[in-house]
Amino acid sequence: MPWTLPPPPAPTLSIGEADGVTVARAALAIRGRHATLTLVLTSATRTRHEIALPLAIPHAAAVTGMTVVEEDHRTVAIAQTPMRASDRYDATVRQVVDPVLLEHAPDGDTRQQDQLRLRVFPLAKAQPVTVEIALELPDGPALILEPGAHGLARMEIDTGGAPIVLHQLHTPHAIELPDGEAAPELSLVGDRSSLLAEPQLELAAAAALPAGPPGLRTASEIQGGIRRNIATLVHCAEVDPTPRALGFLIAADGTVSDVVGADACIADEIRRWRFAPAREATHIQYPVSWDVAAP
């Protein structure tokens, strides 16, 4: 009898647990190989505190974006170097601004999964936080969804047909994936990049984001400039609706060049964007999906 290799394990997405946080609702929407994981985080504690929720994604998967949702306002995270993202997260916590950071936690990596850490401040009983994480899934006929030891109170799964709602999910659950090959994507969370969202709060001037190093644009300035321009990309969805991880250079005079990760339609539009001048150029990595770009 010929000897054959056993099939590789199915890719697994794990939603972990941490002290002081409850995943009140989780949802996974899958279209082709693109997935959006939505987590509604809450706490039984009344005092404001920071949480760090562990997540693990399949090794060949890519994080392509993160959005923090507050009522009708959406804040799209910007990719930054891990050190700068962590420093800005800590600084905005001290300034009473509500940051969300998704970073790589390599000590927890395995051969099958990459360990991530979702850091959120603040979280309290009266202040739930909703986070959407965009992923490109690897090849495979199924995705295994793995809850933490205490399970998930509510898990919603939407693969394009009738949505499935699972209550009190305590064991791994297999989700059949559509046929097709995965398209390689640059992950925005890894050894060289983290995703940081800094929601704009309607507070007094004391809540203003701290400035970055002299001559550099701050994340809030970049976010504001992108928000003013991103609706110009909507018509490009008619050409190619694929979510993308874009890269471009904002020159010192505010003009844009060196657009990467985009088709011709998107690249032409982004080159027309203008930002406020600064003393130095700024390299940008930015995830975009059409539900965010819509006006």
Q: In what order do the strands lie in the sheet with 62-70?
A: 73-76, 62-70, 129-136, 34-42, 22-31, 152-158, 164-169
> How many residues appear in the chain?
295
Residue 81 confidence (pLDDT) above 60: yes
Percent of the chain with pLDDT over 70: 78
Question: How confident is the model over 79-103, as a mean pLDDT?
Answer: 81
Contact between 102 and 47 under an 8 Å Cβ cutoff? The reply is no
What is the model's pLDDT at position 214? 47
pLDDT tier for residue 246 given thresholds of 50, 70 and 90: confident
Does domain 12-197 fall under CATH 2.60.40? My reply is yes
What does residue 201 show for φ and ψ, rounded to 5 degrees?
-90, 145
Higher pLDDT, 137 or 287: 137
Tell me the pLDDT tens digit for each residue of 264-274. Answer: 888 888 888 88
What is the model's pLDDT at position 251? 85
CA dihedral of 86, 87, 91, 94, whole degrees rounded to 10 = 60
- Break the chain into its structural domains and give their ranges: 12-197, 211-293
Q: Which residues of 191-230 are buried (b: 16+ CB within 10 A; e: fewer)?
A: eebbbbbbbbeeeeeeeebeebeeebbbbbbbbebbeebb
pTM > 0.85 = no
What is the model's pLDDT at position 180? 65
Higher pLDDT, 159 or 219: 159
CA dihedral of 138, 144, 148, 150, whole degrees rounded to 10 = 160
pLDDT tier for residue 287 given thresholds of 50, 70 and 90: low
Residue 121 confidence (pLDDT) above 70: yes
Higher pLDDT, 14 or 79: 14
Query: Count of alpha carbons within 13 Å of 154, Cβ hemisphere only?
Result: 10
Peptide bond preceding 184: is omega within 30 degrees of 0, i.e. cis?
A: no
Q: Which of 125, 118, 148, 119 is nearest to 47 (CA)?
A: 125
Residue 173 confidence (pLDDT) above 70: yes
Percent of the chain with pLDDT over 90: 31
What is the model's pLDDT at position 243? 61
Pairing of strands 34-42, 142-146: unpaired
Give the span between the Cα atoms of 270 and 57, in whole angstroms.
31
What is the model's pLDDT at position 207? 35
Tell me the pLDDT tens digit for each residue of 35-62. Answer: 999 999 998 887 878 899 999 999 889 9
What is the model's pLDDT at position 28? 95
Instruction: Give the angle 86-90-92 at the CA atoms, nearest 5°.
Output: 115
Mean pLDDT of the chain: 81
Residue 213 confidence (pLDDT) above 50: no
